[in-house]
Amino acid sequence: MSELEKNTSSRSRKFDADQRTLIDTETIIKALEQHNYLADEELATALFLLIRLGKPMLLEGPPGIGKTELAVVLAKLLQTKLIRLQCYEGLDINTAVYEWNYQKQLLGIKLFENSDLSIKQKEHDIFGEDYLLKRPLLQSITEPDFPPVLLIDEIDRSDEEFEAFLLELLSTFQISIPEMGTIKAIHRPFVILTSNRTRELSDALKRRCLYQWIDYPDLEKELSIIRKKLPNIEEKLLHQVVNCVQNFRKLKLLKTPGVSETVDWAESLMALGYREVNAQAFKRTLGSVLKTTDDIERMKLEDVESLNSKTKA
């Protein structure tokens, strides 16, 4: 056995061992907590099934509540590569799956001009793997050592045509390239799709996935999350910040703040030396938690004490 094969075999055994340590939902909850990610039993169960069954998981919920972060943490738990595809309107196959290296192909054609190869052989070489630029989806099924975590982020931002293209990958874990044929997965990637629900996804895509909704955390859970993220925060400031954000979410704001905005706001207040959310601190730092002018101006008219003292019913 060559040194490369020994290293590959060793890494594969280590990956299998890492995967076997996540034997139940309780173990997964504790493992996530060690990476400062707090999950409830429902989310841990969905993650366990993703690992055990190899089925893709669709996470839906409002922005800024930890959907993307879950994929990052999962890759750390499994000690494997994270491959991310950020979706957007107009996303196409060239960006998401593969693209031919046209400059290299033109150079190859020049080099083959005086060769004895047949036209068929030349075509076979020009459209071979050496001339293929792998994008995230193709990368995810051709990883040689062990399966990566594939994050398809904000799938709701992509077009329905691209969503339809994903069905082959999500059901059979293979990709068809006209010039090369069908490429099947060497290892099934652990697939997490996220959606902010800006549009309804197709039933066909949902049927191929485990489904999990993640909502805004309640008061106690958000307090625990911020403590994990910012262990040096003082309790008074912590409670005032979280109470404010919890109350913001009960109002009809244009952009409701997520947990990531709560962390940003608390960090900003700590960086400025504030130990409580007084009127001055509140007005100076609203841009860390609210993201539209209308929301900021509206909240400046609110009574700070009533917002940060307790959560309104």
Which tokens hold the place of 182? 């069908």
Query: pLDDT, tens digit, for every residue of 116-156?
Result: 666 666 666 777 788 788 999 999 999 998 899 999 999 99
Q: Is residue 102 part of a domain?
A: no
Is 108 inside any structural domain?
Answer: no
Tell me, yes or no, whether 134 lies in a domain. no
Domains of the chain: total? 2
Burial of 282 (0-12, 13-18, 19+ CB in 10 A): buried
84 belongs to a structural domain: yes
Q: Do residues 291 and 201 both lie within one domain?
A: no
52-67 burial, b for 16+ CB within 10 Å, e for fewer?
A: eeebbbbbbbbbbbbb
Residues 82 and 199 in one domain: yes
Q: Mark whether 17 and 55 lie in a shared domain.
A: yes
Domain residue limits at 279: 219-309
Residue 34: CB atoms within 10 Å: 10
Q: Is residue 184 domain-shared with residue 67, that is, in the same domain?
A: yes
Question: CA-CA distance, 125 to 30, in Å (whole number)?
Answer: 50
Q: Are residues 194 and 225 in the same domain?
A: no
Q: How many CB atoms lie within 10 A of CB 136?
A: 18
Percent of the chain whose predicted confidence (pLDDT) is above 70: 88
Residues of the chain with pLDDT > 90, as a percent, come to 71
Tens of pLDDT, residue by residue over 58-108, are 999 999 999 999 999 999 999 999 999 999 999 988 899 999 887 887 887
Please give the average per-residue pLDDT across 300-310, as a whole number: 82
Confidence of residue 6 (pLDDT cuts 50, 70, 90): very low
Same domain, 153 and 33: yes
Helix (H) or strand (E) holding 49: helix 41-53
- CATH number at 206 reads 3.40.50.300
Let me know whether 184 and 281 are in one domain.
no
Structural domain contains residue 299: yes
Evaluate whether residue 35 is within a structural domain.
yes
**Domain check: are 208 and 262 in the same one?**
no
Distance CA 247, CA 115 (A): 74
What is the pLDDT, as a whole number, of residue 124?
A: 63
Q: How confident is the model at residue 18 (pLDDT cuts 50, 70, 90)?
A: low
Q: Which of 194, 213, 232 is the last residue of a domain?
A: 213
3-class DSSP state for residue 175? strand
Co-location of 162 and 250 in the same domain: no
Q: What integer pLDDT is reported at residue 3 of this predicted model? A: 45
Instruction: Look at 283 and 22; give whichever has higher pLDDT.
Output: 283
In a domain, 131, yes or no: no
* Residue 311's pLDDT band (cuts 50, 70, 90): low
